[in-house]
Amino acid sequence: MAYELYYWDGIQGRGEFVRLALEEAGADYIDVTRQPTRGTGAMFAVMESESEPHIPFAPPFLKDGDLIIPHVANILFYLGPKLGLAPEDEGLRHAVNGLQLTITDFVAEVHDTHHPIDTSLYYEDQKPEAKARSAAFIRERIPKFLGYFERVLRQNPKGRNHIVGDALTYAISRSFR
């Protein structure tokens, strides 16, 4: 059965991390809300279900049969071994998961540069604060996060073509070089 990915229909957003892995592996999947017959209504139907015990808080989430898996890093941790995008070694799988969770933190900080005061307010309604937050983000946080990923890459004992081990993983879809 095809995997079902649920995410907002009009943006790449966090859904793109999952799409990249599915596309890289050539997996059979349906981008549910982009189906003309389903749309975001199908996403809300799952999130607002009164009977489903494991409802997601927010998209993206993946359905594999009856199983519902929320959060990008959690979805990728689930899919990685099935798609051939995670190391066989259990310890290394957790290393990849750690990198993906760091990416999760990074993405949340990127989001906060545009919505520093209130997530439910438009960027236009918090522009001065967004500018101040962005300046600090550019100065302090981008170099810290990217410097970290570059160090991990440099220190990979299996070489610098991949971030963990000697093959492509879902954590960073392309080698830096």
Ligand X SMILES: N[C@@H](CCC(=O)N[C@@H](CS)C(=O)NCC(=O)O)C(=O)O
Residue 14 engages ligand X in binding (rule: CB under 6 A): yes
Looking at the Cβ atoms of 76 and 86, the one nearer to ligand X is: 76
Choose which of 32, 46, 72, 163 interacts with ligand X (CB under 6 A): 72
Give least dist CB 60 to ligand X, A. 6
Q: Which is nearer to ligand X, 14 or 141 (CB)?
A: 14
Tell which residue, 167, 10, 5, has the closest CA to residue 78: 5
Question: Which residue shows structure tokens 């960027």?
Answer: 123
User: 62 or 152, CB closer to ligand X?
Assistant: 62
Q: Does 59 bind ligand X (CB under 6 A)?
A: yes
Coil, helix or strand at residue 175? coil
Task: Using alpha carbons, select from 71, 65, 57, 60 the residue that is nearest to residue 33.
Answer: 60
Q: Does 102 bind ligand X (CB under 6 A)?
A: no
- By CB under 6 A, tell whether 84 contacts ligand X: no
Q: Which of 40, 102, 104, 134: binder of ligand X (CB under 6 A)?
A: 104
63 binds ligand X (CB under 6 A): no
In terms of Cβ atoms closer than 10 Å to its own Cβ (0-12, 13-18, 19+), residue 62 is buried
CA distances from 28 to 17, 64, 78, 171 (A): 16, 11, 15, 20
Does residue 60 touch ligand X according to CB under 6 A? yes
d(CA 30, CA 16): 13
Provide, rounded to whole angstroms, the least separation between the CB of residue 166 and ligand X.
Answer: 27
Instruction: Report if residue 138 touches ligand X, rule: CB under 6 A.
Output: no
Determine if the peptide bond prior to 60 is cis (ω within 30°). Answer: yes
Q: List contacts with ligand X (CB under 6 A).
A: 13-14, 58-60, 71-72, 104
